[in-house]
Amino acid sequence: MKLLVCVSKTPETTARIAFTNDNTAFDSSGVQYIMNPYDEWYALVRALELKEANGGTVTIINVGPAANDTIIRKGLAIGADEAIRVDAEPQSALYVARQIAEYARGEDFDIVFLGKESIDYNGAEVGAMVAELLELPFVSHATKLEMDGNKAMIVADIDGGDARLEVDTPFVISAAKGLAEQRIPNMRGIMMAKRKPLKVVEPAAAEDLAVSVRFQLPPEKGDVKLVDPENMDELVRLLHEEAKVI
Amino acid sequence: MVLVLAETQKGKFKKASLEAVTYGNKTAQVLGTDCAALVLGPASGLEELGKYGASKVYHVPDAGLDNFDSQVYAAVISQVAEKTGATVIVFSHSALGKSTAGRVAVRMNAGSVSGANTVPTLEGGAFKVTKGVFSGKAFAEYEIKSDIKVLSLMGNSIPVESSGGPAPVEELSVEVPAARVTVKSLERVEGTTPLPEAELVVSAGRGMKGPENWGIIEELAEVMGATTACSRPVADTGWRPHHEHVGQTGIAIRPNLYLAIGISGAIQHLAGVNNSKTIVVINKDPEAPFFKAADYGVVGDLFEVVPRLTEAMKKFKAEQG
Ligand SMILES: Cc1cc2nc3c(=O)[nH]c(=O)nc-3n(C[C@H](O)[C@H](O)[C@H](O)COP(=O)(O)OP(=O)(O)OC[C@H]3O[C@@H](n4cnc5c(N)ncnc54)[C@H](O)[C@@H]3O)c2cc1C
């Protein structure tokens, strides 16, 4: 099986979120980056498991600058065979999707994997866009994927429930929690990753049709109002009369 | 024209779709145009969408659309958008919306913003709309530059408004391609509102000590008519199902009331819940970081406080009738 896993780079989950240039840009000073958890923990690992069971190759692709090579190498250390980096500073989901589709077209991947969303811009858009550009079926929020030849049996999260789906390869799939278990790269993997191919390609021309122009932090919470643990009638009263939520 | 996809579930419009129609109407007012709703697949009672702000309802009744395949939906929605001259296409940020909006954006060469949480503004011709980013830790305003725009609306961002009368329904016949994804079955958690749509959420963490103690949480949630949620370690150890896991790597929610019980308030947990309107924290540790993000706090042992709160809620419900 020929498998492609799209990975993105996101700030580490405890990173301080702040903005610069009059709140028009993310302040990356001092921020540590990680591979987007949905891409790493679920999409990549399920692809590796399928390769281990059926043979084939796992390629990872990232659209981003040279600084992203660290997280790409981590993907190789976890077990991907090779990597592609499209050398660009992406501004929108559509831009990223066009780069991925440009590379994947003609490569005949059986399955293109992504995480269900990135934890920075929370778009959950790239998968659907890649699928449309490649004219492939798309299943989002997959929590189970089993293959039988070229037929996939998938369980996907639908708000408040599960859908059981069937689709034949080739297709695009986005991974949610449950699809696989996180793998920690071992020393051998890390050593081998250094010798695996990481190819850098130039971006295709593509427009950004939607761009972020200003950021804002949520309003600060006022002080917490403490309620006597013996007096839950008072909490109920506050929720009803003051907060007006019940 | 603003075109809003309205989803049904068991023959009824989803709350998220009623929000989307209300939102579509408000967006249409900003743009000085009308809002129309679109319903795909066999359905009835479509004129009802007029109540929420649709001046017209388009209906593509093909039975094949009962089987959701994002590729088919995107083809159908794009055809309807072209036929009706829609310039803004609105989805709910639901499972269906998320897998379809991006496709429609590609087909229509439209800029898109997913998970929008404000009505767009139009200043000096610039179309701008805001969404949550960094899993709720910040908001970003986007400008969409293309002629056609695709938006998906984050649940619980704007209240449903129902002041209009019934809307005329027009059946459209468009080409419906064959589905490549087959839906074998759908299983829904019965009885409660799904987390992304819930207005009241009772959530519990490791302070519960073990899955056998969840009865007090379920009872409180039942009395309140709330949906239950949990922290990540609770789902990871199998105390609760994965679909209850909220936070940065779980579901992001913004209910009216988030009641956090025995949850410390780690940054990754807060990320997914801190845009809730009101946050109540029950924790025995006065230093728990969650208190800094809370509106109301109760410092005490949850095994004593929660049953007391349940009793107080029962009393309140009885008084309310
Ligand atoms: C990459 C990454 C992603 C993550 N994503 C998420 C996420 O999406 N969601 C998430 O929740 N976590 C996430 N986490 C985990 C997060 O860092 C915390 O570990 C987790 O939220 C802690 O869960 P908890 O509050 O239930 O448990 P704990 O931190 O163990 O807190 C338990 C709390 O219960 C209180 N308590 C104990 N007994 C009682 C009692 N009898 N009465 C009252 N209070 C009591 C304690 O004082 C304590 O505050 C993530 C971590 C990482 C590294």
Under 8 Å between Cβ of B42 and B61: yes
Nearest Cβ partner for B194 among A159, A215, A218: A159
Q: Are residues B17 and B52 in the same domain?
A: yes
Task: Work out the pLDDT band at A159, boundaries 50, 70, 90.
Answer: confident
What's the rounded Cα separation, in Å, for the pair B223 and A102? 54
pLDDT 10s digits, B151-189: 999 999 999 999 999 999 999 999 999 999 999 999 987
Domain assignment of residue B272, given as a range = 195-320
pLDDT 10s digits, A195-205: 999 999 999 99
Nearest ligand 1 atom to the CA of B262 is 34
Q: Are residues B159 and B24 in the same domain?
A: yes
The per-residue pLDDT for A241 is: 97
The per-residue pLDDT for B191 is: 77
| Mean local confidence (pLDDT), B112-117 | 97
CATH number at residue B86: 3.40.50.620
Q: Which residues of B touch A217 (CB under 8 A)?
A: 137-139
Q: Are residues B201 and B165 in the same domain?
A: no
The per-residue pLDDT for A41 is: 97
Distance from CA of B48 to the nearest CA of A (A): 23
> Is the entire prediction scored with pTM above 0.90?
yes
Q: Are residues B9 and B123 in the same domain?
A: yes
| Mean local confidence (pLDDT), A99-125 | 96
- The number of folded domains in chain B is 2
Structure tokens at A96: 């990223």
What's the rounded Cα separation, in Å, for the pair B207 and A23? 38
Q: Are residues B139 and B199 in the same domain?
A: no
CATH number at residue B280: 3.40.50.1220
Asked, for residue B177, whether it belongs to a domain, the answer is no
B213 lines ligand 1 (CB under 6 A): no
Ligand 1 center from residue B282 Cα (angstroms): 13
Q: Are residues B100 and B140 in the same domain?
A: yes
Phi-psi bin for B124: left (phi > 0), alpha (psi -120 to 50), beta?
Answer: left
ipTM of the complex: 0.96
- What domains sit in chain A, N to C, each tagged with a CATH number? 2-218 (3.40.50.620)
Asked, for residue B282, whether it belongs to a domain, the answer is yes
Q: Are residues B276 and B208 in the same domain?
A: yes
What's the rounded Cα separation, in Å, for the pair A102 and A81? 20
Asked, for residue B159, whether it belongs to a domain, the answer is yes
Q: DSSP assignment, residue A44?
A: I
Q: Are residues B232 and B287 in the same domain?
A: yes
